[in-house]
Amino acid sequence: MTNAASQRSLDTLPADQYSCDFSGYGNGITPATVTAQYSVNDSWPVNNPDDILLTIPAPGDGSLSLPSQVTSQLTGDTIFEVTATVQAQNATTTSATIVGDSTDTTSPTSVPLIGGEGQVTFAAKGTGTVTLPPASFAITPFVVDASGHATQQNAITCTTNVAAQNVKITVGAATGSFYMCTFSVSGATQTESSPFDMAVTASGNRTVGATDSVKLTSTGLAVTGLTAGVTATFSGSLEVQGAQSGSVSLTGTQTDQSSGPLVATGTLHLSKAGTIRLLIPQTFTITVSAQGASSTISCALQTSPAPTALTMSVANASGGGGSGTTEGSGTPAGSPATGGGLGPASDDTAAAAGAGVALIAVGGVLLLWARRRRAAELPAGGSWRSWRRRSS
């Protein structure tokens, strides 16, 4: 069977045209059209949430213009939320809800770019399907006042006559460094699954009795663009097999001054001669902290058995040094080109006073980390603002 994790690719469907109804804002308002584009992975590991992505309008297809009867009622900064329901087959649920938000606009004359996401999980290997496009979606404006309170306005319902089709998804076993990650902020739990790039190296004498340094490097787990006061700390371990057994504990911290990939380090005391293998982490955590508020991303490997990250040859102390080689090559699965990296949008500010604001900043980092795993093309700010409204 084709392995879902190693063969996955994001399938972006052709854009579909929708007609949007403004009757909630008055009688006789002429409907307007907008395009929507859906994306879903064409293969995915079993028992892992797979994202269904929605972009409105479709890239390069203009915008949804708002009639004056609508704009006159949106008095203030406005966030636009999209919701849609997608049917699924051979999944743990029969439908998936897509939800997402736009960036803020002042006295909008059109609906800005909106990015939405839903999730579907397939519990058995084989073929699952999602039915796209849905017949309708709703765009709901929220007007934000000076105190930050958002007031819900009437929904704009958009419908399409495009015939829906069952989009097939190959469901198989995970391979490589594929993880399921869960985090919680303000009582809301989010789960995301994704591959991560990981490179493990060792330096030292590689002789019995020596203590060598071990380093894990990952572009996909890197914290980029953190604002002042926000810290991300990685913690995990590498199982040791072969001539000796045990584990190597790794830690690494990134702050707003950090750049480049995540680097986590540890040490390994070499007790026996022969070949040893260091496996990629079975689990790891990333704790994001700001002004006394914190939350932890907990990730668990979905591939069994765990792949080897590094093979080392350890010599007796009198026999000269051993050797170590990394295994694996190719484009990192979590690199920026594929949506990797974690970090807040440019308008996320952790420096504001109060633990509540700090917690929102933490939540923003976590949500954006999740979104950027597989959705680099979606507007980052929308996810954070969605969290801000629902957790305040």
Q: What is the DSSP string of 55-124?
A: EESPTTS--EEPPHHHHTT--SEEEEEEEEEEEEESSSSSEEEEEEEE--EES-SEE--EEEEEEE---S
The answer to whether residues 25 and 164 belong to one domain is yes
CATH of the domain at 235: 2.60.40
Residue 383 within any structural domain of the chain: no
Task: Indicate whether 362 belongs to any domain.
Answer: no
pLDDT exceeds cutoff 60 at 147:
yes
In angstroms, the CA 287 to CA 293 distance is: 10
Work out the average pLDDT over 229-245: 93
In a domain? residue 363 = no
Q: Is there a contact between 253 and 263 (Cβ–Cβ < 8 Å)?
A: no
Q: Domain check: are 185 and 41 in the same one?
A: no
Domain shared by 265 and 190, yes or no: yes
**Cα–Cα distance measured from residue 70 to residue 23, given in angstroms and rounded to the nearest whole number:** 10
Residues 75 and 136 in one domain: yes
- Asked if residue 349 belongs to a domain, the reply is no
Highest mean pLDDT of the ranges 57-61, 87-91, 314-318: 87-91
Higher pLDDT, 229 or 206: 206
CB 263 within 8 A of CB 217: yes
- Residue ending a domain, choose from 138, 173, 208: 173
| Structural domains counted in the chain | 2
Structural domain ending residue among the three candidates 118, 150, 173: 173
Residues 191 and 166 in one domain: no
One domain for residues 117 and 184: no
User: Do the beta carbons of residue 364 and residue 384 sit within 8 Å?
Assistant: yes
208 and 79 share one domain:
no
In one letter, which amino acid is 71?
T
Residue 238 clears pLDDT 70, i.e. is over it: yes
Residue 162 placed within a domain:
yes
Work out the burial of residue 147: count CB atoms within 10 Å of its CB; fewer than 13 is exposed, 13-18 middle, 19 or more buried. Answer: exposed
Residues 143 and 28 in one domain: yes
d(CA 365, CA 359): 10
pLDDT in tens, 247-278: 999 999 988 777 778 899 999 999 999 999 99
Residue 186, pLDDT > 70, answer no
User: Which residue, of 319, 338, 357, is where some domain finishes?
Assistant: 338
pLDDT of residue 344: 30
Shared domain for 207 and 154, answered yes or no, is no
CA distance 155 to 167: 28
The answer to whether residue 373 is domain-embedded is: no
Q: How confident is the model at residue 141 (pLDDT cuts 50, 70, 90)?
A: very high
Q: Classify residue 259: in a domain, yes or no.
A: yes
* Pair (16, 151) in one structural domain: yes
**Residue 303 and residue 177 in contact, taking contact as beta carbons nearer than 8 Å:** yes
What count of other Cβ atoms lies within 10 Å of the Cβ of residue 328? Answer: 16
Instruction: For residue 159, give its domain range.
Output: 4-173
Q: Which residue has the higher pLDDT, 329 or 165?
A: 165
- Do residue 111 and residue 237 come from a single domain? no
Question: Contact at 8 Å (CB) between 187 and 217?
Answer: no
Give the phi and the psi of residue 207 in degrees, each rounded to 5: -125, 155
Residue 348, domain member (yes or no): no
The reply to whether 56 and 205 lie within a common domain is no
